[in-house]
């Protein structure tokens, strides 16, 4: 099935675009450019500032530990310390 999209804003909401960014489909720079399709003026400036802040914050955050065994081990150690 083929869907014709005249304007990106007719097919995707801003929330959809943000979700794609969360899933690493778009970079922060691409999101800043896409934002101009949804916002203008001071609103656009504010959105771009938020994008920059989130991008800067994401570089300073420690990566999450995805190993379930480590999570269980740390959980058990915390319980022992609390007891």
- What does pTM read for this prediction? 0.57
Q: What are the tens digits of pLDDT across the range 46-78?
A: 999 999 999 888 877 655 555 656 555 555 555
Domain chopping of the chain, boundaries: 8-82
User: What does each C-alpha distance from 59 to 28, 36, 41 come to in angstroms?
Assistant: 12, 24, 28
DSSP class of residue 4 equals -
**What are the C-alpha distances in Å from 36 to residues 14, 45, 54, 63, 69?**
11, 9, 18, 31, 44
- 25 SS3 class: coil
pLDDT digits (tens, 9 = 90+) for 6-22: 455 567 888 988 898 88
């Amino acid at each position: 099935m083929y869907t014709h999209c005249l304007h990106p804003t007719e097919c995707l909401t801003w929330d959809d675009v943000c979700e794609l960014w969360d899933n690493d489909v778009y970079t922060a720079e691409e999101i800043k450019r896409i934002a101009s399709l949804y916002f203008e003026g001071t609103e656009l400036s504010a959105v771009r500032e938020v994008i920059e802040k989130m991008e800067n914050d994401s570089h300073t955050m420690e990566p999450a530990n995805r190993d379930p065994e480590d999570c269980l081990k740390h959980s058990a150690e915390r319980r022992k310390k609390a007891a």
